[in-house]
Chains A and B, each alone.
Chain A
Amino acid sequence: MQLTLFNLSWEQRRKLTGLLFVMPTVAFVTIFFIIPLLMTIFMSFHDWPLFGERAFAGLENYQELSKDRQYLKSLDFTFRYTALVTPPIFILGFILASLVRHNIRYIGIFRTIFFLPVVIGLGVSSLLWVWMLDDRIGVFNKILLDLNLVPKAQLFLGRPNTAMNVIILSVVWKTVGFTMILLLAGLQAIPDELYESAEVDGAGYFRKLIYITLPLMRRFIALALILSVIGSVLSFDQFYIMTRGGPRNSTISIVFWIFNNSFTYFKMGYGAAMSIVLLGILVALTGLQLYVLRERE
Chain B
Amino acid sequence: MISRKTLLLAVVFVLVLGSLPLAAQDDQINMTMWVRSIPFQTQAMVDEWNANNDSQIELTVIPSGEFVTKMGAAIAAGEPPDIASIDLIYTPAFAAAGQLVDITDYVKALPYAETLTPAHMELGMYEGRNYAVPTGVDGSFIVYNIDLFEQAGLDPDNPPSTWDEMLEAMRAIDALGDDIYGYWFSMNCAGCNAFTFLPFIWASGGDVLSNDYSEATITSDPIVRDALAFYNTIWEEGLVPEGASIDNGSNFVSAFGAGNIGMSGTGNFAIAGYTNDFPDLNFGVFHIPGQEGGAASFGGGDVIAIASGSEHVEEAWRFIEWTMSDEAQIEIYAANGQIPVRLELVDNPYFEGDERQLTAASALAVGHTPYTTVYNDLFNDPNGPWLEMLQVAILDGDIDGALELGQERFTQIMGG
A244 touches B69 (CB 8 A): no
B99 touches A155 (CB 8 A): no
A52, CB-defined interface residue at 8 Å: yes
* Sample (22) of A-B pairs whose CB atoms are under 8 Å apart: A51-B75, A51-B76, A51-B98, A52-B97, A52-B99, A68-B412, A158-B246, A244-B248, A244-B382, A245-B382, A245-B383, A246-B246, A246-B391, A247-B246, A247-B391, A248-B396, A249-B383, A263-B72, A263-B73, A264-B376, A265-B376, A265-B381
Most buried by A among B242, B383, B391: B383
Binary CB contact string for chain B from 40 to 83 against chain A (1 if under 8 A, 0 otherwise): 00000000000000000000000000001100110110000000
B408, CB-defined interface residue at 8 Å: yes
Question: Hey, which bits of chain A sit against chain B, CB under 8 A?
Answer: 49-52, 67-70, 135-136, 155, 157-158, 244-249, 252, 256, 260, 263-266
Binary CB contact string for chain B from 383 to 416 against chain A (1 if under 8 A, 0 otherwise): 1000010011000100000000000110010000
Determine the chain B residues whose CB is within 8 A of the CB of A49 once the complex forms. Answer: 97
A264 touches B68 (CB 8 A): yes
Q: A49-B97, A155-B242, A265-B377 are in contact. List 7 more A-B contacts (CB 8 A).
A: A51-B72, A51-B76, A158-B245, A246-B382, A247-B246, A247-B391, A256-B383
A249 touches B98 (CB 8 A): no
Most buried by B among A135, A157, A263: A263
Question: Hey, which bits of chain B sit against chain A, CB under 8 A?
Answer: 68-69, 72-73, 75-76, 96-99, 188, 242-243, 245-246, 248, 376-377, 381-383, 388, 391-392, 396, 408-409, 412
CA distance A249 to B248 in the complex (A): 14
Determine the chain A residues whose CB is within 8 A of the CB of B72 once the complex forms. Answer: 50-51, 263, 266
| Residue ID in chain B nearest A259 by CB atoms | B69
CA distance A266 to B97 in the complex (A): 11
CB within 8 Å: A-B pair count: 66
| Residue ID in chain B nearest A250 by CB atoms | B388
A264 touches B76 (CB 8 A): no
Nearest CB of chain A from residue B378's CB, rounded to whole Å: 10
B69 touches A157 (CB 8 A): no
CA distance A174 to B371 in the complex (A): 45
A155 touches B377 (CB 8 A): no
- List the 4 shortest-distance A-B pairs measured between CB atoms, nearest first: A158-B246, A52-B97, A245-B383, A51-B75
Query: Which of B76, B188, B412 makes the CB contact (< 8 A) with A246?
Result: B188
CA distance A67 to B411 in the complex (A): 13
CA distance A264 to B242 in the complex (A): 30
CA distance A50 to B99 in the complex (A): 11
| Residue ID in chain A nearest B413 by CB atoms | A265
A248 touches B391 (CB 8 A): yes
Nearest CB of chain B from residue A52's CB, rounded to whole Å: 4
Determine the chain A residues whose CB is within 8 A of the CB of B188 once the complex forms. Answer: 158, 244, 246-247
Determine the chain B residues whose CB is within 8 A of the CB of A68 once the complex forms. Answer: 412
Determine the chain B residues whose CB is within 8 A of the CB of A249 once the complex forms. Answer: 383, 388
Determine the chain B residues whose CB is within 8 A of the CB of A248 once the complex forms. Answer: 388, 391-392, 396
Nearest CB of chain A from residue B375's CB, rounded to whole Å: 12
Nearest CB of chain B from residue A165's CB, rounded to whole Å: 16
CA distance A263 to B68 in the complex (A): 9
Query: Which of B76, B376, B396, B409 makes the CB contact (< 8 A) with A69?
Result: B409
Query: Which of B99, B408, B412 makes the CB contact (< 8 A) with A51?
Result: B99
CA distance A135 to B75 in the complex (A): 39
| Residue ID in chain A nearest B242 by CB atoms | A155
Nearest CB of chain B from residue A135's CB, rounded to whole Å: 6
Nearest CB of chain B from residue A48's CB, rounded to whole Å: 11
CA distance A247 to B243 in the complex (A): 13
Determine the chain A residues whose CB is within 8 A of the CB of B376 once the complex forms. Answer: 264-265
Given contacts A260-B383, A263-B72, contact A157 B246 (CB under 8 A): yes
| Residue ID in chain A nearest B98 by CB atoms | A52
CA distance A11 to B72 in the complex (A): 55
| Residue ID in chain A nearest B247 by CB atoms | A158
Given contacts A263-B73, A264-B68, contact A252 B383 (CB under 8 A): yes
| Residue ID in chain A nearest B390 by CB atoms | A248
CA distance A233 to B49 in the complex (A): 50
A155 touches B381 (CB 8 A): no
Determine the chain A residues whose CB is within 8 A of the CB of B243 once the complex forms. Answer: 135-136, 155
CA distance A29 to B408 in the complex (A): 43
Query: Which of B69, B75, B76, B245 makes the CB contact (< 8 A) with A155?
Result: B245
B392 touches A264 (CB 8 A): no
Determine the chain B residues whose CB is within 8 A of the CB of A260 once the complex forms. Answer: 381, 383
A155 touches B248 (CB 8 A): no
Nearest CB of chain A from residue B411's CB, rounded to whole Å: 11
CA distance A265 to B68 in the complex (A): 9
A50 touches B76 (CB 8 A): yes
Determine the chain A residues whose CB is within 8 A of the CB of B68 once the complex forms. Answer: 264
CA distance A264 to B383 in the complex (A): 10
CA distance A248 to B391 in the complex (A): 6
A264 touches B248 (CB 8 A): no
Determine the chain A residues whose CB is within 8 A of the CB of B396 once the complex forms. Answer: 248
CA distance A245 to B409 in the complex (A): 16
Determine the chain A residues whose CB is within 8 A of the CB of B377 once the complex forms. Answer: 264-265
Nearest CB of chain A from residue B59's CB, rounded to whole Å: 23
Determine the chain A residues whose CB is within 8 A of the CB of B383 once the complex forms. Answer: 70, 244-246, 249, 252, 256, 260
CA distance A281 to B273 in the complex (A): 51
CA distance A264 to B382 in the complex (A): 10
Given contacts A247-B246, A248-B391, A248-B392, contact A263 B69 (CB under 8 A): yes
Given contacts A248-B396, A249-B388, contact A155 B73 (CB under 8 A): no
Nearest CB of chain A from residue B311's CB, rounded to whole Å: 18
| Residue ID in chain A nearest B381 by CB atoms | A264
CA distance A124 to B286 in the complex (A): 43
Determine the chain B residues whose CB is within 8 A of the CB of A69 once the complex forms. Answer: 408-409
| Residue ID in chain A nearest B392 by CB atoms | A248
Determine the chain A residues whose CB is within 8 A of the CB of B69 once the complex forms. Answer: 263-264
CA distance A295 to B376 in the complex (A): 52
CA distance A143 to B132 in the complex (A): 53
Determine the chain A residues whose CB is within 8 A of the CB of B75 once the complex forms. Answer: 50-51
Determine the chain A residues whose CB is within 8 A of the CB of B408 once the complex forms. Answer: 69
CA distance A266 to B408 in the complex (A): 20
